[in-house]
Amino acid sequence: MIFPGAHLALGLSGGLDSVALLSALAELAPAMRFSLRAVHVNHGISPNAARWAEFCARLCERYRIPLQLETVDTGPYRDLGLEGAARRARYEAFARVEADFIVLAQHRDDQAETLLLQLLRGAGPRGLAGMSAARVDTHGVTFLRPLLDIARVAIDAYAVAAHLHWIDDESNVETRYLRNAVRHALMPALAAVFPNPSVTLARAAAHQAEAALLADDLAAHDAREVSDGASVDRAALAALPAHRARNLLRWFLRQHGLPAPSSARLAAMIEQLRSARSDANVRLAHGGIELGVHRGRIAIHAKPPPFFDLPWHFDSELVLPHGRLVAVHVDGDGLDARRLAQAPVRVRSRVGGERLQLAANRPRRALKSILQDAGMPAWERRALPLVYCGDELVAAPGIGIDAAFGATRGAAGITFSWHPALP
């Protein structure tokens, strides 16, 4: 998989496993003709974090390998717990690294621990498959784990034989962290009953990985009938057997880079989607986004933005919480610039009850009806920014401008376009 000239970046914590892998890769690099550098992620959790970063810097200097230091903030992910927050922040840091491959030092014992952790969480085949030796994530980053079939004792022996030096994370012995409890309590208990349990557990993970692939193949088959990639036909999803509907929705969410919901949450989502009326305003929150239904199709969309009310002087661009308004100054088109100068211009959230007259020979209508007639999904209607001059609604992007504010031929005008952020 590693091609000549490839750029590898090793995730270097400074612990024994990553130091051993650094040593092995540095030895292989000339013969296999790949470039190597290291990435150290400082989570800012341990009081020794700065000392670990300094150790990694000295180690890479000794190997003459560049080191990229990444300092991350785990605060935004605190609801995932300390371990989960650190992992999320670490992988986001890896996504910023420019490399063909990110190489990580997890080994067979780590795989066995992962399977047990997922089993205790009630995970399905994908979770029980544990880690893969090669994986491309949703950011397009390729991760390699070349030690995944190698036991911890073999890596320890290599490190001692090579006279390597490493640092020990003091938190690794704290059994209040679930993985450490599995490592220091559960795995030794299993080893007392079953010889070499990491081999058996890793084999079980491989079987689960195959089962997960089969489930994905079935979901892809069903998707050909019910999905266009961006949305899913609600009636067709409802017609599937329950287990296949759950499998398809789980797969569809993952295709969009979203985490799998719990079994209970997934079943509830399927039930709501099955039983909703065709005109129901369905809003299912999940993973920081929402699922909605429009014209019989299930789609993923961003949550509605918080209320906003911002001044706009028709600079080239106005940045809103959920997208951008881009203005262009023209002649004889769009909004009448002179009329707009008569009162402050602001861009606001929809609050309901707005009315707009799109042409002089047409009546003033409720904006809600205009948007519905235009076929705009409910979530886009909720998020649409509106342009006001004083207290008067003068334009709805993508829909039109109020007839009283249209630029006449030869007059200075302003057109604009709305560019919503992707969910």
Q: Are strands 386-389 and 392-396 parallel, antiparallel or unpaired?
A: antiparallel
Strand blocks (E) in 218-258:
231-233
Taking alpha carbons only, the member of 232, 250, 229 closest to residue 125 is 250
What is the pLDDT, as a whole number, of residue 15? 95
pLDDT tens, position by position, 118-145: 999 888 999 999 999 999 887 788 999 9
Q: How far apart are CA 95 and CA 315, in angstroms?
A: 33
CATH of the domain spanning 227-302, picked from 1.10.1740, 1.20.59, 1.10.3470, 1.10.10: 1.20.59
Tokens of 56: 């990694």
Write the class of the CATH domain 7-200. alpha beta
pLDDT tens, position by position, 364-419: 999 999 999 999 999 999 999 999 999 999 999 999 999 999 999 889 999 989 99
> Other C-beta atoms within 10 Å of 90: how many?
20
- The amino acid that residue 366 corresponds to is A
Name the pTM for this structure. 0.79
Q: Convert 194-228 to b/e letters by CB count within 10 Å (16 or more is b).
A: eeebbeebbebbeebbeebeebbeebeebbeebbe
What is the pLDDT, as a whole number, of residue 387? 95
3-class SS of residue 422:
coil
- The position carrying tokens 């008569």 is 342
What is the pLDDT, as a whole number, of residue 1? 79
What is the pLDDT, as a whole number, of residue 155? 97
What is the pLDDT, as a whole number, of residue 277? 75
Kindly give, in sequence order, each residue whose CB lies less than 8 Å from that of residue 241, ignoring residues fewer than 6 positions away: none
pLDDT tens, position by position, 280-318: 688 999 988 999 999 999 999 999 899 999 999 887 789
What is the pLDDT, as a whole number, of residue 279? 63
Q: How far apart are CA 310 and CA 319, in angstroms?
A: 10
Domain layout of the chain by residue ranges: 7-200, 227-302, 309-420
Specify which residues 326 forms β-bridges with.
Answer: 317, 417
Q: How far apart are CA 86 and CA 192, in angstroms?
A: 32
Chain center to CA of 26: 32
- The position carrying tokens 């390699």 is 144
Q: H or E element: which one contains 19? A: helix 16-32
The DSSP line for 339-378 is: HHTTS-EEEE---S--EE--STTS--EEHHHHHHHTT--H
> Which residues does the chain have with pLDDT short of 70?
278-280
- Cα separation values, 353 from 275, 350, 405, Å: 30, 9, 20
Q: Is 334:413 a contact under the CB 8 Å cutoff?
A: yes
Tokens of 235: 């009636």
